[in-house]
Each structure stands twice: as structure tokens, then as C-alpha cells.
A and B are shown apart, each in its own frame.
Chain A
Amino acid sequence: MKKIEAIIREERLDAVKKALEEMGLIGMTVTEVSGRGQQKGIPLQWRVGEYRVDFLPKLKVEIVCHGDDCGAAVEAIMKAAKTGRIGDGKIFVLPVESAHRIRTGETGQAVI
């Protein structure tokens, strides 16, 4: 099992969700996060003058998938989240040790 953590633009969430759904990957957790990449934040305006906001709002989409599905899922997210402009985000893939469904007590592959 692997976990995919994708940091994406807020406005690309629907496209990402749809692309994963089409692959049969329904379950996901979405969190509002803020962070920065190479562009180092953006300037905003005060009444006169500017101040810099270092961390920009993004969404973090977390899904856990079977090893075989992961490559395709990453591809799908990559395609759906891409605009080609700076700030499109990043995807990280992590190993997952175990999974448990709270309602039934099931564990392992069946859970996801």
C-alpha cells in the first residue's frame, strides 16, 4: 500500500477528484494548507505600500492506494492538476505500513 500526498491548486480540486473517481479511487482526505515553493510567496497591498505573503493557500489531497494503482493515480493527478504555470504543486508517494477501518475492524488491503 502507498499513500499519495498531492499539494495542488485550490481551483484544480474538482478536476483531480473526477480523474481519480474515473479510476475507481473514491476515498480521499482534503485539507486546506499553506506553503511555498520556488516562487516564494506573493506581494499583497496594504493601504499604501505592499506586504509579502510567504505562504500561499493550497489544498492537500491524500489518498491511499494499492501498489499497482499508484502509478496511474499519480499520472491522473498530475494531468488534472497541471496548468503549466508556476505554483501547480507537488506529489509525494509514501509507503503505508497498515490500514484499519474503524467501523468494522477490518485491516489490510480490504480497507482501501
Chain B
Amino acid sequence: MNSGDTAWILVSTALVMLMTPGVALFYGGMVRKKNLISTLMMSFAVLALVSILWVVFGYTLAFGPDIAGFVGGLDFLGLKDVGMEATSYSIPDLLYMMFQGVFAVITVALITGAVVERIKFSTLMVFAVAWLALIYGPVAHWVWGGGWLAQLGALDFAGGTVVHINAGVSAAALVVLLGARKGLGREPMEPNNIPMVMLGAALLWFGWFGFNAGSSLGANGGAANAFVTTNTAAAAAALVWILLSWRTRKPTLLGAVTGAVAGLVAITPAAGFVSPMAAIAIGAVAAAVCYFAMNFKAKIGFDDSLDVMSVHGVGGIWGALATGIFANAAIGGVDGALAGNLGQLWNQIIAVGAVMAYSFIGTLAIGKILDKTMGLRVKELEEVVGLDLSQHGERAYGGIK
């Protein structure tokens, strides 16, 4: 065990934990006043729920002994044999488990952005249990737990496929089942608090240093490289988004912070494999592709409400492919297409395609079953009144006094 590494991963784990309340504020500011509590609650409840699920069965499904390349075995059920010693890395097994746990938490929280203002809270909670077991556990195992994509050599430094593509595509599947919010395109859906969105995005950016630089699993040069590429890509993407929105309208704060998140998403799989200069390119292109994806989504009337697919899905796909393009053996030990290793890009394409297909179909199936049994969407009247009152009996801002 190495105490320096352990200290850094303890801090990184705490940083990543803070990203989920960050997501809550990021999403919360963008919805209408009557759905603010509901939107915040989705992330916060997921933080509590998945924290428990992870230690009980999530960790073992992702990181238990490999079963046919598909899922982890149940050896670590209830954290059996996951102890204070360091057996696989230079940090305690328990700490590695917890670091991975906060990733699982935020992945589920990300999905909620697509279904705000209309999903039934109780059904969402049951969905989280099924989704963690059937989708997140296996996908994390494929990529990080020694499963088939890991064996193939697909790269995902900090979660481009496991977290972002997985969340984005699953969110899109839920939108297919749920449909659009009542009044979309006809009624104004003004964000209730853009400063809150910026606070949330800033917490995400800050937490992302733990997400990416922590994924080197040590206090070392790789962590430093990931730290620099993360900040650089976010900055490049924020600037490009500002320029893009300026081209047609005005530079908005909402756009600037969205650009930053798109850059952070795209650099995630690449952070430990590429140089800071490549990070500028990855961030800049991420802003452009997410911007145009968002435009396209709006045009076809697909109510991925807070752009989980347009930012995390599309940004994650670009990031995973960019890893195969820009990877540099001098940094992360693997070369990408630009250094002549086309095979790496091919591996990335397989990983993207497999995760997209599995999460979309799997989530569609889980969602369909829940829709038939519990009901996925709130009643029309409840939606009109707002989910704060109809689901939680609470409102964000008090009345007189």
C-alpha cells in the first residue's frame, strides 16, 4: 500500500461524490420553478440509493471474478473479502470500491436529466435498482472489470463509455418510452435559475479533477497529465460554444457552461492517454458536435429535456473515438490512429457500438416493464401542477414572507 496514492484517491473519491449534487444543481436550474425540488431530489435520492446498492451487489457485478467476459461473479457480495489491504492496486481494496461507487452514483444521476418534469419518482427509484444491476454492472465489468472489451484492448480512462455513453443512450431510451413534456414547443419553458446552473457546472468541473486525475489510481505523473488535459479540454469547449452561439445569437452563460461540460465529457476516456494539445482539439470538437446534436434534437422535437444524449452521449462517443485517434504511447502506453495504430480506433468503435446497443435495448426493456407495471409517467394533472407538489409535497420557494 502506498500512503500518497491512498491520500490522493481518498480526496478524488470525495471530489467525485460532490459531482452528483453538482449535477442536481446543474439540472435543477434549467427546469421550471414548479419542478426544481423534484429535479434536485432525483439526483440526491440516487446518491443515497446507489451508495447502498453498490456496496451490497453493484461492486461485485462489476469487479467480481470474470464470468464469460460479461459480468463479475458474486464473490464480493456485501463486500465480502473487500478489505483494508491493497491487493490489486497500491490503495486499499475498500477505497477502490468506494472510488468506483461514486462513479456508479453519478452515472445514474446523469440519466435523470432526460426525464425531468414528467417521470414518476417511485418508478425512477425502482428503475435505478434494475438499471444498476442489469446495465451498469455488466458494462463497467466489460470495460474496467476485466470483461470482453478490456480483453479486446478498448481504452476508457475514466468513463467515456461506462459513464457517459451508457448514461446518454439509456436516457434516450427512456425518452422514447416517456415522450415529450406536455406543452413542449408551445409553452415557454424558461430555466428558473441560470446562476444555479453555473454553480452546478462549476462543481462538476471541480469534481472532474477527481474523476479523471483520480482514475490514474495514484499520485503520479499520469494523474498530473489527466488533470491538465481535463482542464484544457473543458476550457477549449467552453470557448468554442461561446463562439458558436455568438455566430447566430448572443453568447449565453447557459451555453458556456454547457460547452465546458461537453469538453469534460469528451476528455474523460482520453485524459490519461493524450497530450494537452490533443485535449484542445478534443474539447473544441466536442463543443461543436454537441452543439449541432442539440440543434438536431430540438428540430425533431425529441424531448431529451436537459440534453443527456446530446451532451453526454454524443460527447462520450466523440471522446471514445478521439481516444483511439489521439492516444500517445509516450503518455499512456498506447498509440492511436495518428501515431499509426489504426487498430486502436477500431477497438474504440467496437466498444462504442457495443455499449450503445446494450444500454439502449436493455434500458428500453427495463423501462417498458416498469411502464406496464408501475407506470413511468405522472398523471397529466400532476405534470401541470408540477412534480414538486405532486411527488414531494414541497416547493422550492415559499410564499409570502
Contacts and interface: CB of A to CB of B under 8 A. Distances in A.
Interface of A: 44-54
Main secondary structure of the interface of A (DSSP, over half): strand
Interface of B: 188-191, 245, 249-250, 252, 254-255, 258, 291, 294-295, 298, 307
A48 B190 contact: no
Contacts of B295: 48-49
A52 B249 contact: no
B250 A45 contact: yes
B188 A45 contact: no
17 contacts: A45-B249, A45-B250, A46-B252, A47-B252, A47-B254, A47-B294, A47-B307, A48-B245, A48-B255, A48-B294, A48-B295, A48-B298, A51-B188, A51-B190, A53-B188, A53-B190, A54-B188
Contacts of B255: 45, 47-48
B26 to A, nearest CB: 12
Nearest to B189: A51
Contacts of A50: 249
A47 B189 CA distance: 12
B243 to A, nearest CB: 13
A55 to B, nearest CB: 9
Contacts of A52: 188
Nearest to B296: A48
A53 B258 CA distance: 22
A45 B190 contact: no
A89 B148 CA distance: 68
A53 B291 CA distance: 23
Contacts of B245: 45, 47-48
Given A49-B295, A49-B298, A50-B249, A44 B307 contact: no
